[in-house]
Structure 1
Amino acid sequence: MHSKTPATEESAATRGAVAIITNRHGELLLHLRDDLPAIAWPSHWSLLGGGCDPGEAPATAIVRELQEEAGLTADSLTELFETRDEHGSGQIITFFAASWDGDETRLPLSEGVRLRFFAPEHLDILTIPPFIRNGINRHLAVRPS
């Protein structure tokens, strides 16, 4: 007999959340991931975020992840859309948008190599996971100027 994992357990284990954080200049906060073969997208620039704990909603996970990874509390956190990280973790990722106008070099980074704000026109030269790049581009295409 084949047993199936309950949907709530399955969805929690396969979900994550990331935040597109912009400052007043329209720059985006990116996170350079560690160079560890055991993680998805090592040595790539990405957005802050991570996986949902069992039973945790993406909106709760992103608040927790921002605080855990960078001691960051972002303003005006808004849910945007979902996409799947097809070629990395396989998770369904919920994208959020937020604003923050601090000095990223002063944040207490607990994961990864560094945080840095980038102007949107400079993102093309960075190594960014495809699903993150697509999510950023999708957000930039519809945000007000």
Structure 2
Amino acid sequence: MTDRPDDPEACAFTPLGDWSSPGLRRGAAVLIEDPAGRLLLQLRDDIDTVAARGQWCLFGGGVEPGETLREAALRELEEETGLAPSPERLAPFCRAVSTSPARTRLYVYRLRLAVDPARIRLGEGAGFALLTPAQLRRYEIVPFQRPIIEQHLAGKA
């Protein structure tokens, strides 16, 4: 299968930040909010080979050849947490370009989901947390993802 340059859903994501020179790589992530208004984030491993090590981020990863953005988001979410929501529950939210040299295009879906921490099977990263808006301000978030989280929170005000 060949990689799809973009799938039809890509235009449903609101652009955030500078899109003047995005890279070729694509990623998909899921911003999960529980009924209490907390966001589920992953703590990245604190090892030299991991980008943004020791920082907090959304669950997600690279889009594999032949995958749609939605398929990649669902696959990554299940691999990293064990969570497997139905595809129609994911709502396109925004897109941003990473600050890495590859300038990866990250497409972010939103998902409202009651999360039972005991049912999370962490498949990647050093940990996870359900964080309130006040806690999010104190945590070290991957820099290019902070505006994504702030945009989500601003829409709730």
TM-score, length-scaled by structure 1: 0.85
CA distance in 2 between partners of 1:60 and 1:12 (Å): 20
CA pair 17-100 structure 1, distance change in 2 beyond 3 A: same
Q: Which residue of 2 is the match for residue 27 of structure 1?
A: 38
CA pair 13-87 structure 1, distance change in 2 beyond 3 A: closer
The alpha carbon displacement at 1:42 in A equals: 0.8
**Residues 1:39 and 2:50 aligned together:** yes
Contact 1:48 1:66 (8 Å CA) reproduced: yes
Moved over 6 A (4+): none
Residue of 116, 124, 145 corresponding to 1:103: 116
Residue of 111, 117, 122 corresponding to 2:130: 117
Unaligned regions of 5+ residues in structure 2, if any? 7-21
CA distance in 2 between partners of 1:131 and 1:139 (Å): 14
Contact 1:40 1:89 (8 Å CA) reproduced: no
TM-score, length-scaled by structure 2: 0.79
Count of equivalent residues? 138
CA distance in 2 between partners of 1:105 and 1:96 (Å): 23
Residue of 52, 55, 73 corresponding to 1:62: 73
CA distance in 2 between partners of 1:71 and 1:64 (Å): 10
Q: Which residue of 2 is the match for residue 73 of structure 1?
A: 84
Residue of 4, 8, 11 corresponding to 2:5: 8
CA distance in 2 between partners of 1:13 and 1:53 (Å): 12
CA distance in 1 between partners of 2:102 and 2:76 (Å): 17
CA distance in 1 between partners of 2:140 and 2:46 (Å): 13
The alpha carbon displacement at 1:8 in A equals: 3.4
Identity of aligned residues (%): 33
Superposition CA RMSD, Å: 2.4
CA pair 134-100 structure 1, distance change in 2 beyond 3 A: same
CA distance in 2 between partners of 1:89 and 1:112 (Å): 21
CA distance in 1 between partners of 2:153 and 2:28 (Å): 18
